[in-house]
Amino acid sequence: MRIDVLTIFPEYLEPLRAALLGKAVDKGLISVDVHDLREFAHDVHRAVDDSPYGGGPGMVMKPQVWGEALDAVCAPDAEGRLPRLVVPTPAGRPFTQAVARELAAEPWLAFACGRYEGIDQRVVDDAATRMVVDEVSIGDYVLVGGEVAVLVVVEAVARLLPGVLGNPASAEQDSFSDGLLEGPSYTRPELWRGLAVPDVLRSGNHAAIARWRRDQALERTFARRPDLLAALPAEQFDKRDRAV
Ligand code: 6GU
């Protein structure tokens, strides 16, 4: 997968080259190019923002700068293809595991990091005439800019790509894969600070272990995220689930 990021703070994206993601880059599973938006600002001050029409606090990122930057970075590749453009914004549609799976199926993603009060809306509207554009939010809180959201989205997407995780089963079994939160996990020792590992996990009874894990996931989801339970279609439950 090819990944391009446009930002006025390229150094903010350095974690993309560390740890798990860095390994995926080294293995050639993903390529990451971070571009400095300011290189597309040509006035003497290299200004990337201006005051908002209609008044109000904050600054809006200028359409000319973004237009030029996207023309350069999102130019058709050798096969004439364009990237899917992801624009992180608190006003976007929620970024979920389902959206991560959608993005993981793309050969090329470009990210446009806005700062201040956002990017002139015409930038997104214009880009959308040529490519698929996703305005996404990573949660109901406000960040200073889209950079950290890009780290979140890229990490969630990259771990779904074949070869990125050591054990592909991890991606299949984690929280959200069945619409529920994952229950608790334990490793050695059997007894630690007076706390024991649940007996069933040491029973060797795989059916009982699967049932216990399912019950734990249901109870935890009920306690912490009742909205997720409510959204699950009835056929996702079996008869034994009803007892929880
Ligand atoms: Cl994607 N961007 C910004 N700037 N703030 C956010 C966000 C994104 N998601 C939640 N808050």
117 is catalytic: yes
What is the model's pLDDT at position 242? 65
Domains and CATH numbers, the chain: 2-158 (3.40.1280.10), 175-236 (1.10.1270.20)
Please, what is the Cα angle at 196 between 195 and 200, to 5 degrees? 150
Q: Using a 6 Å cutoff on CB, does residue 89 contact ligand 1?
A: yes
Ligand 1, atom 4, residue with closest C-alpha? 145
CA-nearest of 103, 233, 110, 240 to 180 is 233
28 Rama class: left (phi>0) / alpha (psi -120 to 50) / beta: left
What is the model's pLDDT at position 243? 64
Instruction: Kindly report the pTM of this predicted structure.
Output: 0.93
Per-residue pLDDT tens digits for 15-56: 998 888 889 999 999 999 999 999 999 999 999 999 999 999
235 is catalytic: no
Which of 32-35's residues contact partners 24+ apart within 8 Å by CB, and which partners?
32/3, 32/5, 32/154, 33/2, 33/3, 33/4, 33/5, 33/73, 34/4, 34/5, 34/7, 34/10, 35/4, 35/5, 35/6, 35/7, 35/10, 35/69, 35/72, 35/73
Q: Which residues pair with 195 in a beta bridge?
A: 192
Q: How far is the CA of 235 from the centre of ligand 1 (A)?
A: 34
Q: Using a 6 Å cutoff on CB, does residue 148 contact ligand 1?
A: no
What is the model's pLDDT at position 178? 87
Complex prediction ipTM: 0.91
**Count of alpha carbons within 13 angstroms of residue 4, beta-carbon side:** 20
Peptide bond into 189 cis (omega under 30): yes
CA distance 192 to 190: 7
CA-nearest of 1, 37, 43, 49 to 21 is 1
What is the model's pLDDT at position 244? 60
Residue appearing with tokens 């200028």: 62
Q: How far is the CA of 226 from the centre of ligand 1 (A)?
A: 24
Per-block average pLDDT, block size 10, for the chain (244 residues)? 98 91 93 97 95 96 98 97 98 96 98 91 98 98 96 97 85 78 97 98 98 97 96 89 70
What is the model's pLDDT at position 64? 97
Per-residue pLDDT tens digits for 223-236: 999 999 999 999 99
